[in-house]
Amino acid sequence: MSNVVAIFFAVLAGLSTTLEAFLNGELEKNTTALIATFISLVVGALFFLISILIAGDFKDLIRVGPIKPTLLLGGVFGGLIIYFTVKAIPSLGVSNTLTLIVISQVILGFIIDSVILGKNTIHLYNYIGAALIFIGVFFMLN
């Protein structure tokens, strides 16, 4: 995949995260954070099941081989993202919540890249960018 396509997908992920956070925050006003999370995950699962059926990939879904149980935690973390976001938005608002999410992602991303994946591609510019994000977070939250 080219970098341009990857950047496009990353931007779409960011836009989707923002819309998802806003809509789930609104959904929580009609129920509880836990139920809003459940509804969001069920609707998402149904959406992707229908997408799999339309794409004709159901046979590939059935043929999924053994999966390390730890890899299934991605679904748990996906649910926790929704739950924690829904809990934070009423107090912080969408932009402050997402700002804190992004800085948390950057920090953990650095750790995963360097410690778990062993990538030595984190340069001085990455740290400068992270510092600027920290400064931006400070100004946004104050």
What is the pLDDT at residue 11? 86
Higher pLDDT, 8 or 114: 8
Give Cα 44 to chain centroid, integer Å. Answer: 13
Q: Which residue type, as a one-letter code, is found at position 18?
A: T
Residue 123 pLDDT more than 80? no
Tell whether the model's pLDDT for residue 122 goes beyond 80.
no
What span, in angstroms and rounded, lies between the C-alpha atoms of 127 and 107? 10
pLDDT value at 121 more than 90: no
pLDDT for 99 equals 86
Task: Show me where the domains of the chain are located.
Answer: 1-92, 93-142
What's the pLDDT tens digit per position in 27-85?
999 999 999 999 999 999 999 999 999 998 888 888 878 888 888 898 999 999 999 99
What's the pLDDT score for residue 40?
Answer: 94
How far is CA 110 from each of CA 103, 113, 119, 130, rounded to the nearest angstrom?
Answer: 11, 5, 9, 10
What integer pLDDT is reported at residue 34 of this predicted model? 94
**Tokens 């992602």, residue located:** 105
What does pLDDT average to over the chain? Answer: 88
Q: Give the residue from 52, 51, 44 showing the smallest Cα distance to 17.
A: 44
pTM above 0.85, yes or no: no
